């Protein structure tokens, strides 16, 4: 495989991983109040808690994904296997 194909597959795989992490975190974060709160309290609180949980899932996904990419870039020589996505300014 050449560098362009490696780069394309890496971007697709990283995107799928990022979306998967987000879905898993959203399911976990939305299940926690459902398990911990009483049904009546849950119905009253969730309309206000939904945006907070959604943004929390986005932020947590960003940090997890960032850590995974840093770990991957330390283990793999990116310049050897991947084509640069952005060209340097002259």
Residue 28 binned pLDDT confidence (cut-offs 50, 70, 90): very high
From residue 14, give the alpha-carbon distance in Å to each of 9, 11, 20, 66, 69: 8, 5, 10, 11, 9
Q: Is residue 86 a part of any domain in this protein?
A: no
Average pLDDT over residues 56-73: 93
Residue 19 domain boundaries = 3-77
Q: Is residue 83 a part of any domain in this protein?
A: no
pTM, entire model: 0.78
Q: Looking at residue 65, what is its pLDDT?
A: 94
Report the number of distinct structural domains present in the chain. 1
Q: Is residue 90 a part of any domain in this protein?
A: no
Q: Is residue 84 a part of any domain in this protein?
A: no
State whether residue 23 is helix, strand or coil.
Answer: helix
Q: Which two tokens stand for residue 47?
A: 């309309």
Q: Is residue 45 a part of any domain in this protein?
A: yes
Question: Residue 81 pLDDT > 70, yes or no?
Answer: yes
């Amino acid at each position: 495989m050449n560098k362009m194909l490696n780069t394309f597959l890496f971007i697709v795989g990283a995107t799928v991983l990022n979306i998967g992490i987000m879905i898993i975190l959203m399911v976990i974060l939305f299940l926690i109040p459902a398990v911990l709160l009483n049904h009546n309290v849950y119905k009253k609180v969730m309309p206000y808690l939904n945006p907070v949980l959604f943004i929390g899932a986005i932020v947590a996904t960003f940090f997890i994904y960032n850590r995974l990419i840093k770990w991957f870039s330390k283990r793999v020589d990116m310049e050897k296997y991947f084509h640069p996505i952005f060209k340097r300014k002259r």
